[in-house]
Chains A and B, each alone.
Chain A
Amino acid sequence: MPIIVLFSNLPEFAQGVSRVLAEKTGFKYVSDADLIKDAAKRYSVAEETLTRTVECKPGVLQRFCSSKDKCMARLESVLAERLLEDNILRSGFIGYPMLQKVSHVLKVRLLCGIKDLIELSRLVDIPGDQLEKGIKRKEENYRAWVQYMYGLDITDSSLYDMTLNVGNLNLDEAIDSILHTVGHERFQPMTFSLGCVRDQVVSSRVKAFLVDLDPKAEIKSKEGMVYVYSRGSRFNRKDHARKIKEELIRLEGVKQVEVYSQRELFKSVSCGH
């Protein structure tokens, strides 16, 4: 079954609509809180650390730079595994680059005006008298967070498959449009797109494992063949590569590992597969 991901300027809005959509359709909503719980359990990290990475402003995150990379790698790893399940519904930008590679993911941007947001203010934890300012501040923070994490501008329409102005439609009409669109042939899973998800599971698992050793390591995998770009230090590149191979080969889904210290070579070899 296809995967639906909802986006909005205010994450709480997409989360709220996702819950309604999940109730109406039987899709299983995987929230950020679910990912945080999964990642905390899998990687023995405090939930607060992961929550801080998801919710903090970039200025604060920059002070915890390596922790940010580790947290995102772990969240993306548990997200990739959830994508293997049927009828999944998500909201928000965590793992966006991996979602973009999978053809059976329908990405929907929900637009709404500040008045609609205030009406839907039960979704956000802001005192009534500060609502308008508070919502605008939250939107700005979220926009900056997505820009900082993934270098994406959330207003760029090319990031989405469809955009719905919820201010002009009622929620039921918006949900009907989403369900109609997700039924199109172009969003149905196939051997290639399901393979992409399985490759993402392995790549993100490897990334989550390697992030302690090299937060800037780049990984690409295809059917268990894993390509890693990791420089190591000038003086121990061979040992560094050997150590990575020995560790990664033990991970589930990894059949073979190649480690490159030259980025161009890594790119040309891994893109050929």
Chain B
Amino acid sequence: MHNKISVLLIDDEPIVGNRLKPALAKIGCDVDVFEDPQKALNQIRSSEYDVVITDIVMNNINGIQVLEEVRKKSQKTRVIIITGFATAALAREAMEKGAFDMIAKPFKPSDLRRIIANALKDMGYQDIEVQ
């Protein structure tokens, strides 16, 4: 696995970050977790991440706005949408705006690890292994 894959995770429910951070650390991801999307956007503007994982429905700022901000900042960063309100229309909008993938909640950490591995392969990283 490539060393220190930088991941920024935004979800306003603390349980999501608490659960996913250790699950992603297992495969070498260095995960910054944000519950406040505004603070996450400030961080995105000042740093570049390999992967941004964002919820859609949050207070004040939604995941599509996060996606748009990431696209403005970097074409390299892969954005993964996680949402409990997945629909075909949302999936199309997210893909059109440059999301790498979208998964409906609830999901298993291994599902997200697989998507991250695909994203890293897409970015040219070799020898990606997830379980």
A residues with a Cβ closer than 8 A to B are 100-103, 184-188, 190-193, 195-196
Contacts and interface: CB of A to CB of B under 8 A. Distances in A.
Interface of B: 86, 88-89, 91-93, 95-96, 98-99, 101-104, 111, 115
A78 B102 CA distance: 27
B96 A186 contact: yes
A192 B102 contact: yes
A103 B91 contact: yes
B95 A190 contact: yes
B111 A103 contact: no
Contacts of A195: 103-104
Contacts of B103: 191-192, 195
B91 A192 contact: yes
A191 B96 contact: no
B49 to A, nearest CB: 20
Contacts of B89: 103
Contacts of B88: 100-103, 193, 196
A190 B103 CA distance: 8
A187 B91 CA distance: 9
Contacts of A193: 88, 91
B102 A190 contact: yes
A191 B102 contact: yes
Contacts of A101: 88
A190 B115 CA distance: 10
Contacts of A187: 92, 95
B115 A103 contact: no
A196 to B, nearest CB: 8
A190 B96 contact: no
A186 B96 CA distance: 5
User: Which of B86, B92, B96 is most buried by chain A, counting CB atoms within 10 A of its CB?
Assistant: B92
A185 B96 CA distance: 5
A195 B114 CA distance: 14
Contacts of B93: 186
A185 B98 contact: yes
27 contacts: A100-B88, A101-B88, A102-B88, A103-B88, A103-B92, A103-B95, A185-B95, A185-B96, A185-B98, A186-B92, A186-B93, A188-B95, A190-B91, A190-B95, A190-B99, A190-B102, A191-B101, A191-B102, A191-B103, A191-B111, A192-B91, A192-B101, A192-B102, A192-B104, A193-B88, A195-B103, A195-B104
A222 to B, nearest CB: 8
Contacts of B104: 192, 195
Nearest to A101: B88
Contacts of A102: 88
A187 B102 CA distance: 13
